[in-house]
Amino acid sequence: MKAPEVAVLPGDGIGPEVTRAAVRVLRAVRGDIECSEGLVGGAALERGLTAYPAETRDLCDRADAILFGSVGLPQYDGKPLPERPEFALFLLRRDYELYANLRPVQVFPGLEDASSLKPELVRGLDLLVVRELTGGIYFGQPKEQRTVEGVDEAVDTMFYRAPEIERIARVAFEAARARRRKVTSVDKQNILETSRLWRRVVDAVAREYPDVRIDHLLVDNAAMQLVRRPSEFDVIVTENMFGDILSDEAAILTGSIGTLPSASLGTRRVAHGRFGLYEPIGGTAPDIAGKNVANPTAAILSAALLLRYSFGDDANAACIESAVERTYADGLRTSELARATPALPTQGFTEAVLERL
């Protein structure tokens, strides 16, 4: 049987630094997993290749999962999308139909003060945003700018088909079963037809999960409740654009973008789970790249998600998560979170996590 394999695509900026940390942690718990590196984003463009070269695609096709850093370099800003590093992510999401974006948002004990909300509002916060990633207004047609009778105009189209809603709803309900059994579906059904369909399909799926509580919130109210009573949420499921906005709002509750991992799951099945792409939610952070100060937590926790969803290995995923939690509980911090305490560099923080595995 083929050895389990992970395609490691570090990318640009802090991507290589934090991905290296994640690979060290992954290999410490699962020495049997082969990690093969590929070029992606600006790192590939700088070598005269495309942002997602054919060799990298072959590597991903072979692999059970992708551990991704981040892509994007300032010198490509303003270029058309196909010439930018970020085009690689677009192609990866499309090729592997990565329709389910999962973003767990957790405030680790000891980090409550880092949040922009009052510590008592975020203490123990642990929610999961499930965002539909391949449909909705970001992809619907027509989508264009045009001039009609001498006037410039533009159109985007929000479009959903019931099966797209059904499959993302299922991801949310399954996830809720392994958590506190509560799903909040977010839409704008007082205005949008796509939202009326969304609510109807989510309710139909909910009937298959009588053990999970379902609530519906309008997106404007959800945005408010996220900062008013965030700890009441368990799983939030929503369409692409609402999810884009709400998941960033949820992320900021934790105080550092450097702590938050994500999983993007596709339709492909692999030996022990689902094929997926795992990456920190933050970008390439050009302001701190190469300085060994980036927080590797998001990348390390992305490796934990990879084990859970693509390798069905909950035990080692939980082992990594608990090591990270203990590192914070012991007062250790990277520079963006350190206040009075001396900060650990990327590598030092990684070693602290490795010691606690």
Which residue in 95, 126, 138, 156 is the catalytic one? 138
Considering the complex, state which of residue 187 and residue 279 has its C-beta at the smaller distance from ligand NAD: 279
230 binds ligand NAD (CB under 6 A): no
CA 2 to centroid of chain Cα atoms? 28
Considering the complex, state which of residue 176 and residue 277 has its C-beta at the smaller distance from ligand NAD: 277
Residues 335-354 that bind ligand NAD (CB under 6 A): 336
Helix, strand, coil % in the chain, rounded to nearest 5: 45, 25, 35
285 binds ligand NAD (CB under 6 A): yes
The least CB distance from residue 319 to ligand NAD, in Å, is: 22
Enumerate long-range contacts of 225-233, CB under 8 Å, 24 or more apart: 226/250, 226/253, 227/117, 227/253, 229/121, 230/117, 230/121, 230/122, 230/125, 230/127, 231/121, 231/122, 231/123, 231/124, 231/125, 231/126, 231/127, 233/127, 233/182, 233/184
Q: Is 248 a catalytic residue?
A: yes
86 binds ligand NAD (CB under 6 A): yes
Measured CA to CA, the distance from residue 67 to residue 60 in angstroms comes to 10
The least CB distance from residue 256 to ligand NAD, in Å, is: 6
Residues 265-284 that bind ligand NAD (CB under 6 A): 279, 282-284
238 binds ligand NAD (CB under 6 A): no
10 binds ligand NAD (CB under 6 A): no
Reference 70, options 299, 243, 323; nearest CA is 299
288 binds ligand NAD (CB under 6 A): yes
CA 70 to centroid of chain Cα atoms? 11
Catalytic residues: 138, 188, 220, 244, 248
Which residues are at the interface with ligand NAD (CB under 6 A)? 14, 18, 70-72, 86, 89, 257-258, 279, 282-288, 294-295, 298, 336
